[in-house]
Structure 1
């Protein structure tokens, strides 16, 4: 039987590299018992080193009641590890065949109903759950590096994933202290990686063409839009760029610039439907906050970031 999200006590982390090890550190800091499995030689030593290195940051953020590195157990046998699970987080290398086989192996030895989540950074669960006997309990729980520090997790199921497993997983991660996006549909790379990849590709184009240096590109973000994104993100940032008219004015006034050669990406066609969807989304996210409210909120946040970095 599947425990309620709030009743999870033991988390199994299958795969303990940079991502899996980060998960181990995070779950320990949140007060869970953690059983780790990884077949690689020397994996336990590397894992314990990673946890020790992450612990000062986790301590500064605030440890949950009962948080203790001594609650980590390393188990070399997959069946023995998964047999103790209330929840499984798989973090194997990004190899589709490996993911398929490992998820099937985990499914075969994990108690009935227990959710099996994957840290994959790009594969859809539809493609990974093909060999599982019980694919309904498999779901993507995509973190960001390092998982012990970055709050976001993107949750999305595959075609055979049970709907209640998606909602259960989102609830579990929220209870564990994560910020969760529950995606409505699968898309390769999910949301944040696709946005990150677009910026990365354009940066490589500019370096290759001699249009910008690495240092200029980094400074353009750290001292430019990157200072606003922790506060509002790109959509509300452009909402404010429209002044008192908000996103509607922004799209109507600057929409034609989507066709300007400012990026190598093909621009989405700014249809009335797309315009209305973006405007309505900004209104929902603003949740009653006026443009003036959002401007003040942004300014406070940017000042806080600058001061935290010693740059103001």
Structure 2
């Protein structure tokens, strides 16, 4: 088997308590008020099938536990065997997950399972492409943002980790991130930072976004745990990293693509954050083959 991007030691599965409400909501949305009327009238109640979720193209898989749960929530009698856990690289034609059980149950859960696993695998694959693109350029890490699909954040951020990336904050409540609008309304970099420092607990990190080197110098004078260097070209980023000189974490953002990421990583920034891996990544094409 080819090595996976994130080993099972480092990529712990999400707790069922987090995943189940998402999958239940998706199933309820699809089943509506009367259930799967097509399958119920076409497929005999006693029919059974064997099937497999198979990759139609190469990529990195994620969302496997959600797909597994979609089938077993519909019917605990469906037997599921996972061949490729989250974080595994797959080639076209390879089996990701195998199923056996009541045909009606498997067919009724099929679309929800595929929607989730294709979406999450697309995110993992896009993340992996960025991770591979910057690998020769140093130690920068690819991190995601809060630009996630409403209701799917926990799965999408897990998919980023499956692709070899890391997570930025999960929500508004787990870190202070002072952005340009905060700075404008607060009256500048210094008052924004001073107010944050005076109000937060000792375990809460403070990051601030800057657009210019002058703003950066002001932040360095006051102090912050991390600095978001927004929409800077590689030359400016390199100068920013030089001025920081390891005193705090540096994060680059803005127009990050597979083509632009290597030059950004080469500047020496610690993190490269991007929203498109969660809000715009194409799905990975996976399908259910039955026998």
The normalised TM-score by structure 1 is: 0.25
Higher-strand-fraction structure? 2
Higher-helix-fraction structure? 1
